[in-house]
Amino acid sequence: MMSDGALSQDEIDALLAGVDSSAMGGGHSHAATMTAPSTAAVDFDIGALKGFFSSTTDALSSNLSALTGAAVTLSPPQADSSDRDSFLNQLPDTVTVISANYTSGFPGEHIFILPEESARAIASLMTKEEDIQLDDMAMSVIGEVVSQMVGTQITSLTDKTGNKSIVAASPTAANVPKAAAALPAGNFAVMNYNLDLGDGKPHKMWEILGSSPANDISIGLNGIAGQPAMGGGMQMPAMGMGGGMQGMQMPGMQGMQMGMGMGMGGGMQSNLGPANVQAVQFPNLMQPRLGPHEAGNIGLIMDVSMEMTVELGRTRKLIKEILGMGEGTIIELDKLAGEPVDILVNHKLIAKGEVVVIDENFGVRVTEIVSPMERINDMGYN
């Protein structure tokens, strides 16, 4: 029978499943062939990732306990690589997804996932409310919890990799069906934690890294742990017991031999004559003065504007206290009355002063200047 050119539903299903559609219908007798989906290679070192994230669980447990006021324990994670379909099979039907993607340092997808009931339990601990609904306020509370966790991890990751540019976006949380969870493409790294919130119920949390940040972090961790030897692979001759120095052939030196090693038994051999030994001269560690050239360069930026602020004081509040603030609320700061205020440039402390009033406007009189060297170091120009 002639086909009218339209695909039947069976043929459409076969195409989606990877089956050769020519084997469907039409009286053909040959067997259908299956095309296995390709799996991307896993480049990241799952062992290195597990070791790092396991090392942060004690600090994370302490942070969570301080935030919630409960004895919270996060176990060292099980680590594995997965893809979307395999991972979704592990999840309950509804989950809370918190995106905290890395924007620099190791840029890429960084996601936390909680079962709906675990997210509700955390939000309840934070707000001290029973039967809390996972509304926008609850999502903000959970996002703040994850923000504190990510900050702790970044501090540790900076120490272990030497990468000082690691930054993550402010976490955003949403409660969605698991099929709607935005997961990384291809293979990704999964850290599977057990979470004890002190309520006698088992809780889980998954932390996911896309393949790019997982690979970059693996390289960073392994680079610090196993730094290559200096010298670009050049091997220094071994020092033996005894006395003889064996000549070392240098490529491109027309047979010149340099006595570089101590052989077993014998006199020192050298075709270069006696060595000229001199004391090592170390440079002066004093801060050099700026010459005319450097001073001229600084003059080029003298007209650049910078933000100057005066900080009266600071304080920390619980989220429930912040949400409960209204008109007339008094906020107590960490500064004593009459204590000098901080003067900052681009959020860096440069001086201290006292508040004054100038023609109905507030001002500040400088009473103490931070030394120039301390200011330069604080601004990161050292």
**Between 175 and 381, residue with greater pLDDT:** 175
**pTM for this predicted structure:** 0.52
User: Contact at 8 Å (CB) between 187 and 83?
Assistant: yes
State the pLDDT at residue 374. Answer: 61
pLDDT exceeds 80 at position 367 = yes
Percent of the chain with pLDDT over 70: 66
Question: Nearest-CA neighbor of 79 among 59, 62, 55?
Answer: 55
Q: What is the mean pLDDT of residues 285-301?
A: 57
For position 11, what pLDDT does the model report?
59
Task: Find out whether 368 and 351 touch, Cβ atoms under 8 Å.
Answer: yes
Highest mean pLDDT: which range of 32-36, 131-135, 221-225, 230-234: 131-135
- The mean pLDDT value for 126-142 works out to 87
Question: 360 vs 6, which has greater pLDDT?
Answer: 360
Query: Which ranges constitute the DSSP H helices of the chain?
Result: 9-17, 46-55, 57-68, 84-88, 116-127, 136-161, 211-225, 292-299, 319-323, 372-378
Read off the DSSP letter of residue 164: -
The predicted model gives 154-166 an average pLDDT of 93
Q: Sorting pLDDT into bands at 50, 70 and 90, what band is 67?
A: confident
Kindly tell me if the per-residue pLDDT of 98 is higher than 90: yes
Q: What is the DSSP letter of 186?
A: S
Q: Is the pLDDT of residue 282 over 90?
A: no
Averaged pLDDT, 323-333: 87
Q: Return the bridge partners of 352, or none.
A: 342, 368
In this prediction, residues 15-35 reach a mean pLDDT of 41
Q: Is the pLDDT of residue 267 over 60?
A: no
Residues of 291-314 as b/e, b for ≥16 C-beta within 10 angstroms? eeeeeeeeeeeeeeeeeeeeeeee
Q: Which domains does the chain have, with CATH numbers?
A: 46-223 (3.40.1550.10), 334-382 (2.30.330.10)
Q: How many CA atoms lie within 13 A of 65 on its CB side?
A: 12
